[in-house]
Amino acid sequence: QVQLQESGPGLVKPSETLSLTCTVSGGSITSYYCNWIRQPAGKGLEWIGRIYSSGSTNYNPSLKSRVTMSVDTSKNQFSLNLSSVTAADTAIYYCARNSGYYGHFDPWGQGTLVSVSS
Amino acid sequence: QSVLTQPPSASGTPGQRVTISCSGSSSNIGSNTVNWYQQLPGTAPKVLIYSNNQRPSGVPDRFSGSKSGTSASLAISGLQSEDEADYYCTAWDDSLNGWVFGGGTKLTVL
């Protein structure tokens, strides 16, 4: 079955850029959206944004100025860059796939913890 | 402050029926379908209900969803100890042009 796996540094310094990759296995990313969702410890889920396999994006307005997403269909990978990070960006970051513009998130990656600290 | 409003907690005893509400507005729940996710402790969320009331294969029929106007509900009947988890509602918001989540509801099985 389709599986998603997040990867990237677990520690990022304040003011630097957080970079994560989501690798999709067991299926193609063509014609799907990849969403990035984060969850600070003990708190709820926050949608960061999504990218379609063609490269079109939608971002959370509250993060839009700092977010860039990209896609590499040859590697079946999606990427997230979040710039100028602060301690408030410390969270578990998940990628999740959805089909169709309004489709639900399924499956999800297991998540990766990113801490922002000097 | 989440765009969708859920009660922070809910509880019930084994065998009981519990409901979790999710309140939104005309730009999200009022215009689009609602999905529900279950997050067991220490794990990634998984879809429980999609398109207001559809269950993915493998989800017990004890779980059901409904929507009316700008609100939605998740009902769990025959409550079991393994249902103890956090539950989140979500919907697409046409004004924000993105997905919005509820703040989550922590369900405790007494």
pLDDT tens for A2-29 read 999 999 999 999 999 999 999 999 988 8
Nearest C-alpha in B relative to A41: B42
Check pLDDT > 90 for residue A49: yes
Chain B interface, best mutation among A3, A45, A63, A92, by max B CB count within 10 A: A45
pLDDT exceeds 90 at position B87: yes
Q: Select the residue of B33, B45, B46 nearest A45 (Cβ to Cβ).
A: B45
B71, B7 Cβ separation under 8 angstroms: no
Measured between beta carbons, which residues in chain A are less than 8 angstroms from residue B57?
A: none
CA distance A40 to A53: 27
Question: Distance between CA A46 and CA B50 in Å, rounded?
Answer: 18
The torsion defined by the Cα of B98, B103, B107 and B108, in degrees rounded to 10, comes to: 150
Q: Is the CB of A111 less than 8 angstroms away from the CB of B44?
A: yes
Taking CA–CA distances from B3, the nearest residue in chain A reads A46
Q: Which of A45, A102, A106 sits opposite B88 (nearest CB)?
A: A45
pLDDT category, B18, cuts 50, 70, 90? very high
Residue A61 has pLDDT above 90, yes or no: yes
